[in-house]
């Protein structure tokens, strides 16, 4: 199984495009953290804010699309091997916010094999943590923009909130690649999987539907770009 830190040379399945997307998003988040560190030392917030806006826009679209076209469908239908009962995905998402520490329990269970339901529970928990971290960054940024002179304390909180979001992002990507993507390959039909990959890369509701795929391609090596282009011919 490749990791988002690897040089990806082959997509064995359409959903493997997630490895490439995660790789690009981690670079963007690294750049944003570096700019937050510069702001910590008194630097201008404008470039940081511009980079942050791009990062958050992609991160939120990515997570929402996963909920709608990946984990949602896996919950809402009886899966091919019959392991998954039908569930109320929105209610499940709300319930998970109240289950502090549940992910650790699920990871421990992985030694004996996670059920499909446990994998999706863990994915929902990671999404909830990601949203909380995004909300915290947004709150601190708003505070900074409201100050005529950005105080050192605000700058520290800004840098800390960005670092916390990066941790949440990394944990989410790591969990997804270890547990969720194998489940997608096992349970989704080839057509469903390809449509999920298409939705992750192409935003049909946007004025520029290619805003995601163009940024992803821009952050990849020439060989990795070819993988995206080949996948796009199948959409």
Q: Sketch the domain layout of the chain as residue ranges.
A: 14-232
Whether the Cβ atoms of residue 197 and residue 184 lie closer than 8 Å to each other: no
Q: CA geometry: angle at 94 spanning 117 and 55, to 5°?
A: 90
How far apart CA 184 and CA 66 sit, in angstroms, is 11
Instruction: Indicate whether 96 pLDDT > 70.
Output: no
Count other Cβ atoms within 10 Å, centred on residue 2.
Answer: 16
Instruction: Quote the pLDDT of residue 115.
Output: 76
Q: Is the confidence at residue 88, as pLDDT, over 70?
A: no
Q: Under DSSP, is residue 37 helix (H, G, I), strand (E, B) or coil? A: helix
pLDDT in tens, 25-45: 999 999 999 999 998 888 788
The reported pTM is: 0.80
pLDDT value, residue 196? 96
**What confidence category does residue 1 fall into, taking pLDDT thresholds of 50, 70 and 90?**
low
- Residue 108 in tokens: 């421990």
- Non-local CB neighbours of 160 within 8 Å, separated by 6+ positions: none
How would you label 53-83 residue by residue, b for 16+ Cβ within 10 Å and e otherwise?
A: eebbebbebbbebbbebbbbbbbeeebeeee
Q: Are 66 and 22 in contact (CB under 8 A)?
A: no
CATH number belonging to the domain at 14-232, selected among 1.20.1270, 1.10.3470, 1.20.120, 2.60.40: 1.20.120
44-48, 50-54, 111-115, 149-153: range with lowest mean pLDDT: 111-115
Query: What span, in angstroms and rounded, lies between the C-alpha atoms of 217 and 87?
Result: 36
Question: In this model, does residue 17 exceed pLDDT 70?
Answer: yes
Least confident of 67-81, 131-145, 172-186: 67-81
The per-residue pLDDT of the chain, averaged, comes to 83
Residue 156 and residue 188: Cα distance in Å, rounded?
Answer: 44
On whether the CB atoms of residues 228 and 20 are closer than 8 A, the answer is: yes
**Res 107 pLDDT > 50:** no
Q: For residues 159, 160, 163 and 168, what is the CA-based torsion angle, rounded to 10 degrees?
A: -140
pLDDT digits (tens, 9 = 90+) for 142-197: 888 777 778 888 889 999 999 999 999 999 999 899 989 998 998 888 999 999 99
């Amino acid at each position: 199984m490749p990791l988002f830190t690897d040089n990806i040379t082959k997509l064995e399945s359409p959903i493997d495009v997630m490895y490439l997307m995660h790789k690009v998003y981690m670079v963007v988040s690294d750049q944003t953290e570096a700019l937050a560190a510069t702001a910590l030392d008194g630097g201008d917030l404008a470039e940081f804010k511009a980079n942050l806006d791009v990062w958050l826009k992609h991160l939120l679209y990515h997570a929402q699309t996963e909920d709608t076209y990946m984990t949602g469908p896996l919950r809402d239908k009886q899966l091919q091997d019959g392991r998954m009962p039908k569930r109320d995905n929105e209610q499940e998402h709300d319930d998970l916010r109240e289950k502090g520490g549940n992910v650790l329990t699920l990871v421990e269970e992985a030694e004996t094999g996670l059920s499909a339901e446990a994998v999706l529970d863990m994915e929902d928990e990671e999404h909830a943590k990601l949203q909380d971290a995004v909300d915290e960054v947004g709150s601190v940024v708003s505070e900074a923009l409201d100050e005529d002179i950005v105080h050192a304390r605000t700058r520290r909180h800004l840098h800390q909130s960005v670092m916390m979001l990066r941790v949440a992002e990394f944990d989410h990507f790591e969990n997804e690649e270890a547990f969720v993507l194998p489940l997608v390959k096992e349970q989704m039909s080839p057509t469903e999987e390809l449509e999920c990959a298409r939705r992750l890369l192409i935003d049909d509701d946007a004025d520029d539907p290619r805003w995601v795929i163009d940024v992803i391609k821009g952050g990849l090596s020439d060989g990795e770009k070819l993988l995206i282009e080949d996948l796009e011919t199948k959409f």
